[in-house]
Amino acid sequence: MNSFYQFFAAFLAGFITADLFVRGWNSFLQCAAALVLFFQSKIKVKDLFTRLSSSVPITILCLLSLILCFKVYFSILDLGRTELEQLGYFLGAVPRTGYYLISAGKMIDSMFRS
């Protein structure tokens, strides 16, 4: 039963960390897109601050949550050492990351609409 717990914890950690990374990265790209649009004079200062005020906090929150998740997973739970845990983490992270990669083009295109 200990192996099942480790596999399930690794699978859950893989999914959660992949989701946090994808959300944080997407918010970071939204910040960059807003700055690019502003410097190309396609949006005004008010629109820039509106976009940044919605994406910067999410970027920071996801980064801090990602650090906390890894701290709990590696240090507190002392997981991530066996091959079964690594397999579980991989199987948890791949579907979320794969879904993001499939839809990333559309999301990035939508960020550059002024």
Tens of pLDDT along 35-73?
Answer: 999 999 999 999 999 999 999 999 999 999 999 999 999
Non-local CB neighbours of 30 within 8 Å, separated by 6+ positions: 51, 54, 55, 111
Classified as helix, coil or strand, 103 is helix
Domain that holds residue 73: 2-111
How many CA atoms does the CB half-sphere of 25 hold within 13 Å?
Answer: 12
In the numeric block, the tokens 């960020």 are attached to: 111
Is the pLDDT higher at 58 or at 81?
Answer: 58
Count of structural domains within the chain? 1
Is the pLDDT higher at 4 or at 24?
Answer: 24
Q: CA 57 to CA 28: how far, in whole Å?
A: 10
C-alpha of 19 from chain center:
5
In the numeric block, the tokens 């960059």 are attached to: 32
